[in-house]
Amino acid sequence: MTHPTPTPPRGLHHITAIAGDPVENLRFYRDLLGLRLVKKSVNQDDPSTYHLFYADADGNPGTDITFFPWAHAKPGTPGVGVVSETLLTVPHGSLTYWTERLHAHGVRVDEQRTSFGEATLPFADPHGMRLALVEADAPFTFTAWDDGPVPAEHQIRALHGARVPVRDIAPSRAFLEGVMGFEHHAEEQGWHRFVLPGAQGAGAGHLLDVREAADERRGAWGVGSVHHLAWTVDDEPHQSALREAVAAAGRRPSEIIDRFWFQSVYFMEPGGVLFELATSGPGFAVDEEPAALGERLILPPWLEPHRAKIEAVLPDLSAATTPGSAA
């Protein structure tokens, strides 16, 4: 019996990575890159560490990069199965501004490149995570952060995509196309670009670049590495349909897990990258006023009885500067 192909994800929902010192992380992503801290919570599987969520002013799906700060963890190991670069969308004509801003704050910026016709500025965060700003259109929901340190016309719009090496591209390609609904867009310098159909008009983070690296070692998670890529699904029926397709492909997805702000399903794609299917709602404003997002520690209801114990072990973030006015 054949099953109908489920509707593909809408694009990236969020990307979660592992950071070092949380104050350094906050200074870089909020105060330098100008992303709003929309949720200050804890890792629900390890409440002794923060889970920090940065996004646009409203925390729209697809604008969100999140971190588990484990200050004493080992650095990540680059290699197959580990994201090598996280791509962030900025408006056309913004790379000159960003080059000057990053240089002024002591960030070493690599030579600008053109990838698949897009002007791209690569650099790394303080903990070694590779990032790149990409000039591109933004036909998706984005809310500028008026109180942030970056002028609205230059603000990071959203996640653009990610790049990952795999040992054998064939199984990953078959899975991306046959199960997740990606389309092979183009190949350039060994990178294969996969794009979600229709997502350029519907969601942010619609692409994934994959490169075959048969002789590279397996990468490992650690400080400075991406932990997982989360893809947006509309609701629980959409999530369940995709989960069934993932299970039918032998990828052993998790059960649906309640993360309070969204529902999650986790699984490894064939190349070893951890994927998540995350529902678009209920969103970050379900337990905070939109104007006050990220200002206090928020715990899901099942952790609230342990607040005193959790707060006693979390590092103090007050040393981080406040964003100040746009400049």
Residue 200 reports pLDDT greater than 80: no
Q: Please check the confidence at residue 285 and state whether its pLDDT lies above 60.
A: yes
What was the pLDDT predicted at 319? 79
Say if residue 324's pLDDT is above 70. Answer: no
135, 118 in Cβ contact below 8 A? yes
- The pLDDT of residue 202 is 54
What domains lie within the chain, and their CATH numbers?
Answer: 12-313 (3.10.180.10)
- Give the 3-state DSSP-derived string for 303-327, with helices as H, strands as E and coil as C: CHHHHHHHHHHCCCCCCCCCCCCCC
Confidence of residue 1 (pLDDT cuts 50, 70, 90): very low
Q: Are 127 and 24 in contact (CB under 8 A)?
A: yes
Residues 270-283 have pLDDT tens digits of 999 999 999 999 99
Give the residue among 242, 294, 296 at the shortest CA–CA distance from 36.
294
pLDDT for position 318: 87
pLDDT reported for residue 201:
43
pTM over 0.85: yes
Per the rule left: phi > 0, alpha: psi between -120 and 50, beta: everything else, 81 is left
Model pLDDT for residues 25-79, shown as the tens digit of each residue: 999 999 999 999 999 999 999 999 999 999 999 999 999 999 999 999 999 999 9
pLDDT at 326: 46
Identify the three-state secondary structure at position 159: strand
Q: What percent of the chain has pLDDT over 90?
A: 92
Pair 204, 160: CB distance under 8 Å: yes
Mean pLDDT of the chain: 94
Q: Residues 208-254: pLDDT tens digits?
A: 999 999 999 999 999 999 999 999 999 999 999 999 999 999 999 99
How confident is the model at residue 325, as a pLDDT?
Answer: 45
Q: Residue 285 has what DSSP assignment? A: G
Q: Tens of pLDDT along 87-129?
A: 999 999 999 999 999 999 999 999 999 999 999 999 999 999 9
Q: Considering the chain, what percentage of its residues have pLDDT values greater than 70?
A: 95
